[in-house]
Amino acid sequence: MKRLSRKIPRGGRRNKRTVEQFALLLRNNMTRAEEVFWKVLKKKQRAWKHKFEPQMVVGNYILDFGCESLKLGIEIDGRIHDRKDVKRNDRIRTRRLNKQGWTIIRFRNADVFGRLSHILNIIEEVSIE
């Protein structure tokens, strides 16, 4: 299976339509950790007031999962996020989203596979406030 780049393709203008099209592509090609997380979150959130959606577009950014009413973004990070340049980009991105009123929570792929109930408890606590 061909590996899908998780970055918005360069070249051309980055407009809302381009970002939304790329978000749809990502939604249809989730990582294994995102698939597992979404399957469980989708069921769990039925009892919550606030709803999350996968690959939510916020400006020029795509959150792995986002809740508009809470302005809460959830990022599921793989090993690539251990790289210095990616960490730097993550910090910049988070700061920009924070300035727009968004809170970003980051979890590791390993957390999804090993501590999923803990992740969901954290999100549920934030969601019911």
One-letter amino acid of 116: L
| Secondary structure of residue 55 in the 3-state scheme | strand
Predicted TM-score (pTM) of the model is: 0.81
| Secondary structure of residue 15 in the 3-state scheme | coil
**DSSP notation for 17-37:** HHHHHHHHHHHTT--HHHHHH
Per-residue pLDDT of the chain (129 residues; tens, 9 = 90+): 334 444 554 544 555 567 778 777 777 778 999 999 999 999 988 888 889 999 999 988 889 999 999 999 999 998 888 788 889 999 999 999 999 999 999 999 999 999 999 999 999 888 776
Ordered structural domains, the chain, with CATH: 16-128 (3.40.960.10)
> How many whole angstroms separate alpha carbon 39 and alpha carbon 21?
22
